[in-house]
Structure 1
Amino acid sequence: MAEIINLRMARKAKARATAQATADANRAKHGRTKAERQAAEREEEARARLLDGARRERDEGE
């Protein structure tokens, strides 16, 4: 004879598994460590300084 299961519990378990898979995918897609975020921020600041340093000054008459 087949095993009797509670459909409500099975449905909730499936929903939990789906939610966990979605959370794992989002963590892989969006999650960065603090060191990675800080490195990206330093890189962006260095890029901005380089751009500002290469900018030509405008005269008042222009």
Structure 2
Amino acid sequence: MDIFDALEERVERLVARKKALEEENAALRADVARLTEEKQAVAARIDGLMVTLQEELDL
């Protein structure tokens, strides 16, 4: 195997790794978006409970 074959193989591996990392990055970004939505939903529920408690305490 000459040096150009080795270089070509290395470049192909790097390109494949880049594509794999881009796919993993996209999946992680989707997870972050989903978790952010879940966090906001939980915060809204907690806020609602706090309002209910405050209203009961004010009576």
TM superposition score normalised by structure 2: 0.50
TM superposition score normalised by structure 1: 0.48
Larger radius of gyration: 1
